[in-house]
């Protein structure tokens, strides 16, 4: 009996062992499948995070192009550095506003009684001088009725009429009002609503926003030939700048392009950021050198190009100053700073063409060393790729006298449009965008040339017609 019971217990334990064995094998298989699934999920998560980082980088890039924040983060002072106080520093020579040289009127001021005790005052021959500048508020507009004589030209066989000085054809507003609106819009960058309110407050003149926009369209037509001249001036100049920034037309993404020479600026607002825009604006095989950033749309243009060192150094500095930056990228940034410093001293020097080519070859080798170096860190590889793409465009300025190493001039000119975009958000129509580009080109060009703004605009809108237009009494 005892042996039988032992066999039964043994069989029971064996069946339990087999059951546990099957269960263990099943759990092992499931565990293996879960490990594999977990591995796949980790790989997918890694890919997703990389893609997310790329998407965020692209988003921030385009968001910055369209709506760059004007808020600056508080800089972290370096260790051991003293915090710089606001305002003028020790040793700074202060300046004050100069007194007007021309006096329009002179008045004598005296009191009838003491302002403290109301007592009687005695007069003296001593005076305290004080010069005050002021303006007239709510100055009344001047309304003029012109009786324009209809005349017949026997040679042309047609009726002709004169256009009074200070006016443009078919406009109910004089040139001074047109110029005032233009300056408020493009020089002071005020919205149409503010311009309309200002006209009513200062002059009692009610002009609706729609009418102001029509006035701006009219000005654009008047400036059409001058705008074409500016394009031609930029094309022919030996030094040209180019840049672009985001714009909005009816809420849709567009691009504002800027092309300039040292004393002329041309803006154009397009729906594309493609290479066709610079090719059309600069023409075929234009003379001179183009200074630009590293945007690929300029790469195929048939003229020598100088890439902007400010963009390159800014990009390398950002990567070098990160917490997890590699030693390679910090070393490369230091090398680039040294090269830029050397070039900044060499470029202004007077050199013969042969010497310039020799210096160019020296720095070409330095650039090639950076391109050929086998870097390991990802952050320095990104800078290396940028340098590889630009290559000798970084040192074109050595070969051509007067060519700068940076595109800072273009940055300053396009900044005017960036500020306008931040205020208005862009344009409400294609026609409005074209009007803004033309009129802004005229205004900014006059500013670059340091011309007297009002008088030059008057000449463009109403050229003198000596001997042709006479008013009664002349």
Q: SS3 sequence, the chain?
A: CHHHHHHHHHHHHHHHHHHHHHHHHHHHHHHHHHHHHHHHHHHHHHHHHHHHHHHHHHHHHHHHHHCCCCCCCCCCCCCCCCCCCCCCCCCCCCCCCCCCCCCCCCCCCCCCCCCCCCCCCCCCCCCCCCCCCCCCCCCCCCCCCCCCCCEEECCCCEEECCCCCCCCCCCCCCHHHHHHHHHHHHHCCCCHHHHHHHHHHHHCCCCCHHHHHHHHHHHHHHCHHHHHHHHHHHHHCCEEEEEEEEEEECCEEEEEEEEEECCEEEEEEECCCCCHHHHHHHCCCCCCEEEECCCHHHCCCCCCEEECHHHHHHHHHHHHCCCCCCHHHHHHHHHHHHHHHHHHHHCCCCCCHHHHHHHHHHHHHHHHHHHHCCCCCHHHHHHHHHHHHHHHHHHHHHCCCCCCCCCHHHHHHHHHHHHHHHHHCCECCHHHHHHHHHHHHHHHHHHHCCCCHHHHHHHHHCCCCCCCCCCCCC
Domain residues of the chain, as ranges? 309-406
pLDDT band at 315, cuts 50/70/90?
very high
Whether residue 140 contacts residue 148, with contact meaning beta carbons closer than 8 Å, is answered with no
pLDDT tier, 155 (very low <50, low <70, confident <90, very high otherwise): confident
Distance (Å, rounded) from C-alpha 194 to C-alpha 210?
Answer: 13
Q: What percent of the chain has pLDDT over 70?
A: 91
Count of Cβ atoms closer than 10 Å to residue 335 Cβ: 14
| pLDDT at residue number 36 | 83
**Higher pLDDT residue, 285 or 368?**
368
**CA 226 – CA 229 distance, rounded (Å):** 5
Taking the whole predicted model, whether its pTM rises above 0.75 is answered as no
pLDDT single digits (tens) 171-212? 899 999 999 999 999 999 999 999 999 999 888 899 999 999
CA dihedral 298, 299, 301, 307 (to 10 degrees): 70
Q: What does the alpha-carbon distance between residue 100 and residue 91 come to, in Å, rounded to a whole number?
A: 28
Please report which confidence band the pLDDT of residue 59 belongs to, taking 50, 70 and 90 as the band edges.
Answer: low
- How many whole angstroms separate alpha carbon 144 and alpha carbon 364? 68
> What's the mean per-residue pLDDT of the chain?
86
d(CA 277, CA 285): 14
Give the torsion through C-alpha atoms of 312, 316, 321, 322, to 10 deg: 120
Using a 10 angstrom Cβ sphere, with 0-12 exposed, 13-18 middle and 19 or more buried, the burial of residue 178 is: buried
**Under 8 Å between Cβ of 443 and 187:** yes
pLDDT at 335: 95
Both tokens of residue 29? 């298989």
For 107-138, the pLDDT digits (tens) are 888 888 888 998 888 888 888 888 888 877 77
Q: Is the pLDDT of residue 444 over 90?
A: yes
Q: How far apart are the first and last CA of the chain?
A: 149
């Amino acid at each position: 009996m005892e042996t039988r019971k032992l066999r039964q217990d043994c069989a029971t334990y064996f069946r339990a062992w087999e059951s546990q064995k099957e269960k263990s094998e099943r759990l092992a298989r499931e565990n293996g499948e879960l490990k594999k699934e977990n591995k796949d999920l980790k790989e997918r998560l890694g890919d997703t995070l990389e893609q997310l980082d790329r998407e965020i980088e692209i988003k921030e890039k385009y968001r910055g192009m369209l709506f760059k924040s004007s808020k600056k983060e508080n800089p972290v002072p370096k260790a051991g550095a003293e915090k710089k106080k606001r305002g003028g520093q020790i040793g700074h020579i202060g300046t004050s506003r100069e007194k007007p040289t021309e006096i329009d009127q002179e008045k004598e001021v005296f009191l009838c009684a003491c302002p403290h005790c109301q007592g009687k005052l005695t007069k003296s021959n001593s005076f305290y001088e004080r010069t005050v500048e002021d303006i007239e508020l709510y100055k009344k507009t001047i309304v003029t009725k012109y009786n324009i004589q209809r005349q017949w030209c026997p040679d042309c066989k047609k009726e002709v009429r004169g256009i009074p000085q200070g006016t443009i054809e078919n406009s109910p507003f004089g040139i001074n009002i047109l110029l005032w609106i233009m300056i408020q819009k493009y020089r002071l960058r005020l919205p149409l609503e503010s311009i309309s309110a200002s006209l009513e407050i200062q002059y009692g003149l009610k002009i609706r926003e729609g009418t102001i926009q029509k006035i701006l369209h009219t000005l654009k037509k008047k400036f059409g030939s001058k705008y074409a001249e500016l394009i031609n001036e930029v094309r022919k100049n030996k030094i040209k700048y180019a840049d672009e920034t985001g714009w909005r037309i009816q809420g849709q993404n567009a691009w504002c392009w800027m092309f300039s020479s040292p004393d002329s600026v041309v803006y154009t607002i397009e729906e594309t950021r493609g290479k066709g825009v610079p090719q059309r604006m600069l023409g075929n095989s234009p003379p001179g050198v183009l200074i630009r950033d590293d945007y690929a749309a300029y790469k195929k243009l048939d003229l020598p190009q100088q890439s902007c060192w400010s963009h390159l150094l800014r990009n390398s500095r950002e990567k070098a100053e990160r917490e997890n930056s590699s030693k390679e990228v910090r070393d490369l940034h230091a090398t680039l700073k040294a090269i830029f410093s050397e070039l900044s001293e060499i470029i202004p020097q007077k050199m013969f063409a042969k010497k310039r080519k020799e210096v160019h070859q020296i720095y070409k080798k330095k650039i090639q060393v950076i391109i050929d170096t086998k870097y390991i860190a990802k952050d320095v590889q990104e800078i290396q790729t940028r340098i590889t793409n630009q290559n000798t465009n970084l040192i074109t300025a050595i070969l051509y006298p007067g060519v700068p190493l940076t595109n800072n001039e273009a940055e300053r000119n396009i900044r005017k449009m960036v500020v306008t975009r931040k205020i208005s958000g862009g344009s409400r129509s294609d026609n409005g965008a074209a009007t803004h580009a033309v009129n802004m080109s005229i205004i900014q060009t006059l500013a670059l040339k340091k011309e007297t703004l009002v008088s030059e605009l008057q000449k463009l809108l109403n050229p003198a017609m000596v001997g042709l237009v006479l008013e009664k009494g002349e």
